[in-house]
Amino acid sequence: MNIGTVASKGIAVGKVVVLDRPTLTIPKHENQDVALEKETFKEAITRSVENLTAIKAKMADHFDDEHMAIMDAHLQMLQDPEIRSQTHDLIDQGKNAAQAYETVTNTFIAMFEAMEDDYFRARAADIQDIQYRVLAHLIGTPLKDATLLDEDTLIAAHDLTPSDTATLDYRFVKGFITEVGGVTSHTAIMARALGIPALVGAKEALSKLNPGEVYVLDALEGKLIASPDEATLASYKEKAEQLLREKQRLQKFKDQVTKTRDGHALPLFANIGSPDDLALVEPHGAEGIGLYRTEFLFMNEKTMPSLQKQIDAYQKVFEAYDTVIVRTLDIGGDKNLPYLQQAKEDNPFLGLRALRLTLKERELFKTQLKALLIGGKGSPHIHIMFPMVALEQELDAAIEVLEEVKSDLDQANEPYQKNVKIGIMIEIPAAALNAERLASKVDFFSIGSNDLIQYTYAADRMNEAVGYLYQPFDATLLRLIKHVIDSAHKHNTEVGVCGEMGGDLWLALVLAGMGIDELSMQPSSILPIREALSKLDLKQLQELSERVLACHDSDSVKRTIQETLATLI
């Protein structure tokens, strides 16, 4: 059966074991003793902290410090003073402890689930894990961690939490299948860290799988094969060996500079959402960070993160790589900050978001810019990128705020990074069409292909009904990108791509031929693209791009790429 999204590539064979949690029934009665309910709540938090601390200790056998930091984040959530305060308020109003805690945490879960960004939406599952643990203690439901295994196993679950994965026996776990989640979910992150094949977002998988039956998990094509015969097993064994050989071959490119066969350099960078993601980047040989999304730092707080907290977060990333492109706060649309009291908008994706919002919230903007300048003082340079620029006036205003922050730091005799490269996201068609004038004012562009496609074709990329309009291979889009590249290069302004297009092998080669200066992507895409580039000359890539740009639709673009590469690689 075809099922789910590939989150970690590979082939695995094993018996399916379903991990299922009992449904919790939350009492609805009003509390009779406020002090007693608060004490019960305190005890549930304490027991949950003890549980997770013990589980974290077990994780040391399988995970490095960066991955165990996920458990640290959960421990912090458990003891979050804002959640505790809001829960106490509801207990004071008459709710019992379980009811109060469920209400408060559901608010945060709903906020994250409503977000478009896969990375942030995946954080809802982290809060759900914490919520379940505390509620189970509050209502007296025994918590069962994953059982010990004694044979090759495929773990299937509605979702896998950090505490689930921490207690598994990895001598026998060969693959993961979950009904929910995306490529940035906890399951996906852990699977890639462990090198375990995984399918996520496999809707209704638990109702389709037979526990105890042997399956082949094909995490290349997103398939599960029940009760495979000897011929099928032999075929997949060969595929697994081919994968291993491919991984071993690609490893020789890990520490190499990305360049074409004739020596044209094209740096391959990684996209991250927090300093914790650095552990996922290093094994894939990224040459820098092409998109550091700073939203999560703000969204994981109940109040605006302090200057020092921001400095610490940025500094960790600056210390890891010489080149780090930091996108300033991109809030709005589907991502809101409760402490900003943002007004409800009929069309938030076309409303007060990203740079438009930070120019309005000037002090928030200045604090972030100050933190970036101070946090990057030990680096050779820093790249600050403004998102959602539509007009020159917006860019001018952002640069004015940056200069004001520099002046404030000079007057305070505060050391900071003075070698600052300024860039903008090209994700609005107006900016793409006005690329030449904008390029005269900045050091670099980064094309946010996800939003550029969405806004160019007026199609919500998350809406299946108009999914056919989301066309990264469409020739019209590619010609628009070519216009941006050529316009920028007239002013020696560098151009990168940080959306999903950059990590697609075929499109990466086309973009290289179009003159792109760098590509940023999910870490796992880096080595295959580095290898492909090493087999081709720049002239061949340019000829490929010329053929593609002469096409008229998405299908002809794909056909042209396939036919051309068949003769070259």
Whether 334 contacts 115, CB under 8 Å: yes
What whole-number distance in Å separates Cα of residue 194 and Cα of residue 191?
5
Token couple for 423:
């860039």
Token couple for 50:
């003890």
What whole-number distance in Å separates Cα of residue 501 and Cα of residue 503?
5
What whole-number distance in Å separates Cα of residue 422 and Cα of residue 460?
29
- The interaxial angle of helices 554-568 and 505-514, nearest 10 deg, is 90
Residue 201, Ramachandran bin (φ over 0: left; ψ between -120 and 50: alpha; else beta): left
Indicate which residue of 74, 88, 186, 383 is catalytic.
Answer: 186
Indicate which residue of 74, 88, 383, 498 is catalytic.
Answer: 498
- The interaxial angle of helices 97-113 and 123-139, nearest 10 deg, is 170
Strand ranges of the sheet holding 10-19, from the earlier edge strand across to the other edge: 5-8, 198-200, 173-178, 153-157, 10-19, 214-219, 223-226
Whether 296 contacts 273, CB under 8 Å: yes
Query: Residue 395 corresponds to which amino acid?
Result: L
In the annotation, is 498 catalytic? yes
Q: What is the DSSP string of 80-117?
A: -HHHHHHHHHHHHTTB-HHHHHHHHHHHHHHHHHT-SS
What whole-number distance in Å separates Cα of residue 277 and Cα of residue 457?
32
Residue (of 58, 104, 114) closest to 78 by Cα position: 104
What whole-number distance in Å separates Cα of residue 228 and Cα of residue 215?
7
- The interaxial angle of helices 123-139 and 34-59, nearest 10 deg, is 120
What whole-number distance in Å separates Cα of residue 565 and Cα of residue 542?
13
Q: What is the Cβ-side half-sphere exposure of residue 323, based on CA atoms within 13 angstroms?
A: 16
Residues 6+ apart with CB under 8 A from 348: 332, 333, 334
Query: Residue 352 corresponds to which amino acid?
Result: L
Residues 6+ apart with CB under 8 A from 99: 26, 27, 28, 90
In the annotation, is 552 catalytic? no
What whole-number distance in Å separates Cα of residue 398 and Cα of residue 392?
10
Whether 196 contacts 174, CB under 8 Å: yes
Q: Provide the annotated active-site residues.
A: 186, 498
